[in-house]
Amino acid sequence: MRVLLDEMYPPEIADQLRARGIDAASVHEGPHRALEQTADVDVLAAAGTAGRVLVTENVRDFGRIERELLGAGGAHGGLVFTTNRQFPRAGGDAVGRLVEALTALARSDSDLRNRSVFLRPAD
């Protein structure tokens, strides 16, 4: 699973995922910086074009975009939804818990094309 982290996540999460062998990118680094402050529909399209699953907390907007896109016969590379409640961005182990959960999902060999999942903390 190839991952693109939406803009609410620090790029250090992508660094940690790469250190674990996960192909991860952040919209805050490299060629993906062009996606910062870009319309959500364009971010999802760019992730799909790059063969990446988009990880985001923006359930409301991306859920709507996904419904409209699939309803119109379109496709996307996959969506992983998180919440700040389950994976708080502040606090001692916030990043570590998210990295663990994303690593477990990536290693599960899940094909998320045209699907969305809500990420749960790893056991």
Count of domains forming the chain: 1
- Domain region containing 6: 2-118
CB 101 within 8 A of CB 119: yes
Q: Against a cut of 0.75, is the pTM above it?
A: yes
Residue 99 domain-assigned (yes or no): yes
Domain-embedded: residue 123 = no
Dihedral sign (CA 96, 36, 61, 108)? negative
Between the alpha carbon of residue 108 and those of residues 1, 51, 82, 114, the distances in Å are 9, 17, 17, 17
- Is 97 inside any structural domain? yes
Over the stretch 44-86, which tens digit does the pLDDT of each residue have? 999 999 999 999 999 999 999 999 999 999 999 999 999 988 8
